[in-house]
Chain A
Amino acid sequence: MSLAVPFRHRQAAHCESGVMAALVTHGGLPLSEPMAFGLAATLSFALIPFVRLSGLPLVAYRMPPGAIIRGVCKRLGMRMRRQTFRHAEQGMEALDRALGEGHVVGLQSSVFWLPYFPEDMRFHFNAHNLIVYGRDGGDYLVSDPVFEEAVRCDRASLMKARFAKGALAARGLMYYPERIPVELDHARAIPAAIRTNYRMMARSPLPFVGLRGIRLMGKRLVRLGRDPRRRDDYLPRFLGHIVRMQEEIGTGGAGFRFMYGAFLRESATLLDCAVLRNASEAMTEAGDTWRLFALRASKMCKGREPMDPPMLADIISRCADREGVAWDLLRRVEPRRRS
């Protein structure tokens, strides 16, 4: 059996924003990846000490998985058909049916069981997103947004990847838009999305979320540096973990700060707004500062540079300052009424 919907693969920095941008664009409304990311108000920061991944606290630079899908739907006023399955075979049959009806289908899956991933990138992370746009014999035609080209995946592996168990298990989640709007009112959607994001980053009631969370991470590093029992073993592992979350996990660099900067810049052009352009520049500077942190921290955890937590905390505090400048500017962006 061979079946493929005409579909253009486009590489993206992040899986979920890439899938959403591609699905909406395919449906007839051109949407860039940064625009999908920004409209969903996905930029965040959280350091959650009581949620642990292999003994290390959760560090996130964005909202939890699923937020981009929901956020884009909300801002665009579109509905997504979402299905999960109890049995793997049912999930595969439903996928075949949807493809037969001509849909391009988004899937949540594990990274580990996808055979086209390089060995070193295969970890048990269950909230990866990809698009299936056809079948060719026993293979599915896959547009995985983080890859340069479209790829293929055999049925057995795809089934295993969709139904992998553990944290954030997908339970075969598949989704496709039911109806995509013909146009998007940028003057309303963009300020509303920025407002939502502003509240989370600058007005968070929780000390470990947003700008306060960033500063908290700096303080924690200083405290770990003073703790003789955790300085030598735990601290380097923690630093490596932060850098991985910031750079490795499909972020577009600097924990999504550059992607958000790109969103602000695109919005500045669309709305012809100088404040957005300035905020974009401040966000870029914040991103550059995060990159500086990653560079120094990775060298320290490798022992190529002496461990200096106060210095790292100082860089982190500069990140929070720069982001603070951006959010102060963005606070003034008001939704415009449609005339």
Chain B
Amino acid sequence: MKEADVPQDGIPTYGGRRKLFYAVAEDGAYVAVQSSGWEAEAIATASALEEIERQRTEAWRRARSGATSPLEYYMHCRRMDLALLAKTTGFSRWRIRRHFRPAVHARLSDRILARYSEALGIDAATLRILVECP
């Protein structure tokens, strides 16, 4: 990649920042060049983000209809999956899956919610209810 070919596509996923790339200068030596992003990278990142977003809104919809508890929605809000939430809270997966049942979730003690609150960085009062829109 020539120095002049380092992409400067200003991609949204960089949030206005620039990354460093190595490219070849006129005299054949390598130089470090700042880049505002490349379209190909933006597409790849965006499709990963879309997948996360899809899971999140899907969980919200199911929580709304009573098929799952708000907890599952908040898990996706933090871009976590069941395995990671289990590791972070120390609860077993099946126990978390049980907490995804609205009836069980409604009766969760403050102590258990506090552990979810700590793991997700969301306060316990919020974890009890579902936000109005995803």
- Could you list which residues of chain A lie within 8 angstroms of chain B, going by C-beta atoms? 11-13, 33-34, 54, 112-113, 118-124, 146-148, 160, 164-166, 169, 236-237, 240-241, 243-244, 247-248, 250, 252-254, 258-259, 261-262, 265-266, 269, 277, 280-281, 284, 287-288, 291, 294-295, 297-299, 301-302
Contacts and interface: CB of A to CB of B under 8 A. Distances in A.
B81 to A, nearest CB: 7
Interface size class of B (residues with CB under 8 A): 35 or more
A12 B87 CA distance: 32
A261 B12 contact: no
B30 A121 contact: no
Interface stretch (B40-48, B62-70, B108-116, B124-132): B40-48
Contacts, number: 129
Given A34-B22, A120-B49, A288 B1 contact: yes
Contacts of B44: 240-241, 243-244, 247-248, 294, 298, 301
Interface in B75-119: 78-81, 83-84, 87-88
Nearest to A256: B22
Contacts of B32: 11, 13, 33
B115 to A, nearest CB: 12
B58 interface: no
B30 A258 contact: yes
Given A118-B17, A240-B44, 13 more contacts: A113-B121, A118-B14, A119-B15, A120-B49, A148-B34, A243-B40, A247-B41, A248-B44, A258-B1, A258-B22, A291-B1, A298-B40, A302-B47
A166 B83 contact: yes
Contact of B48 (A113, A240, A280): A240
B30 to A, nearest CB: 4
Given A119-B15, A258-B30, A295-B40, A252 B21 contact: yes
Given A120-B13, A121-B13, A160 B20 contact: no
A117 to B, nearest CB: 8
Nearest to A120: B13
B92 to A, nearest CB: 14
B54 interface: no
Contact of A248 (B23, B45, B80): B45
Nearest to B80: A124
B30 A261 contact: yes
A35 to B, nearest CB: 11
Contacts of A165: 84, 87-88
B30 A244 contact: no
A298 B13 CA distance: 15
Contacts of A295: 40
* A-B interface, 8 closest residue pairs, ranked by CB to CB distance from nearest: A118-B15, A262-B30, A243-B44, A120-B13, A165-B87, A298-B40, A298-B43, A247-B41
B123 interface: no
B48 A284 contact: no
B122 interface: no
Contact of A240 (B30, B34, B43): B43
Nearest to B23: A258
A49 to B, nearest CB: 19
Given A13-B22, A119-B15, A258-B30, A160 B121 contact: yes
